[in-house]
Each structure stands twice: as C-alpha cells, then as structure tokens.
Chain A
C-alpha cells in the first residue's frame, strides 16, 4: 500500500465543519443529518417536506458560498460514462433507501450515538466500496 494525495489538515477541518452542521441541526431542529433520508423524504413524504427542501438547497449553496469567500475555484473530476453514473446513482438511491442511511446518517450520526446497526452498515458499505474499486481497477 502506498499513500497518495493525502490532505489530512483540510480533511480534518472539513470534518469539523460537517460536525458543526450536525450539532446545530440536532440542537435546533432535533434531527440528525442523514442526507439520503432527507433527500428521499423530500421526494416520498409530505412530512417536513419544505424543511428537507431547504436543507438540500443549502447543500448546493455551500460550495458556492465557500468559493465566494475563499476566492478558490472548486473543481471536481468525474470520468465515468453517463451509463455507469446512471447505474451508480440508481444503486445509491435504492440501497440507501432499503438500508436507511448513507455516509452521513450511518457513517457520522449513527456512529456518534454508538448504533450497532449504523456501525455494521458503515463497515459493510466501505468493504463493498473497496472491493468494487479493486475489481474495477482490474478491468
């Protein structure tokens, strides 16, 4: 194993900021941040639909506001074909809905409250993700 592109400081600071969002939403709205749940309920449920909508809008505004203040241009690189992206998106939507959580809901909030379900879900999707990357690298 070789370690590359490691950015521990910005990763840790970004993690603290994500933690701040979780703490605020918990203390103020009494809710945990599970983004798959928020997005799914925005689509499938009338309960707190506008709250969920505003949270999702906030998520999109985040990078824009960051760029305004940091004067830094944020860029991402996605090289996958649109077919692969479509399949991946479908699996993520379906999987997080069946398993009731993603990296935020299970990975951060669930582990924060020592939920066994969330710990098992997180370990499972990480192992599967690692295996998928290992296999796609072979092809």
Chain B
C-alpha cells in the first residue's frame, strides 16, 4: 500500500509545483531577485504549505502512520558546519539556475533538455557526496 501512496504523494506534490509555477526557474529567480524586480510568489507557496502542514504534523505525530510502524522524523538537533556548508553550496546552485530538486525533477515532464542536464548533474552530486563520504546521515 505504501508504494501506491508514495506515487500519489509524488503526483500531488508535482501538481502543487505546477499550479504554483515553481516548476518554472524564471519564477524562482524572480523571488531571489530581491534587489531588482521582485516576485514574492515563492513566499506565498511556502506560506500556503506551512499553514496546513504545521498544525497537521503537530497534532498527527502523536498518532501512528497508517502504512508504517512509526514516523521517521530527523532527530538531529545540533548545528554543525556541514549544515551551513551544505546550505551555502545548495543556495549557490539554486541562485545560478533557479532550480531546486523538486521542481527540477518535476520539470522533466516537459522534456526540456536543460532540466535533463541539471538533474543528471544533481544526481552526480548525490553520488559524489557518497563517494567523498560527506553525505549527511
């Protein structure tokens, strides 16, 4: 059952990225262009998601998931250098292309060669992090 729900969750997430136009890097770069012509849309996407997820997760985490033994929630609390270094590297790539993992993968649907190049390079980055043994647990 959790196979079908994985697929469905992915589909719904992808539809959300399409409705909000976050699938379009131009829209994301518009948000990051704070000192130019600024497009605040991305902030509204986050607010739209957070207003429902915040109360839901807070209440539901006391229950039990339907198709799993328990919740898997990150337990790490300490702030380390890897968190900051990772966020800086990610922010650099995000600012250069306007693509982050979700929209990049979703945009493969539009069969755009640019998305394909980005996603292949991103997976190369995932592999490299394993190879260099720097991936976060």
Q: Please, which residues of chain B bring their CB within 8 A of the CB of A127?
A: 91
- A88-B11 in contact given A63-B109, A129-B32 (Cβ < 8 Å): no
List A26-47 residues whose CB lies under 8 Å from chain B.
26-33, 35-36, 39-40, 43-44
List A6-56 residues whose CB lies under 8 Å from chain B.
6-8, 10-33, 35-36, 39-40, 43-44, 50-52, 54-56
Q: Please, which residues of chain B bring their CB within 8 A of the CB of A124?
A: 84, 87-88, 91
- Complex CA gap A13/B18 in Å reads 11
Is A108 a contact of B14 with CB atoms below 8 Å?
no
- Complex CA gap A57/B74 in Å reads 24
Shortest B110–chain A CB gap in Å is 6
Residues of B near any A CB (own CB < 8 A): 1-27, 29-30, 32-42, 44-54, 56-58, 60-61, 63-74, 76-79, 82-102, 104-110, 112-115, 117-130, 134-137
Residues of A near any B CB (own CB < 8 A): 1-8, 10-33, 35-36, 39-40, 43-44, 50-52, 54-67, 74-78, 80, 82, 84-104, 106-113, 115-117, 120-122, 124-134, 136-137
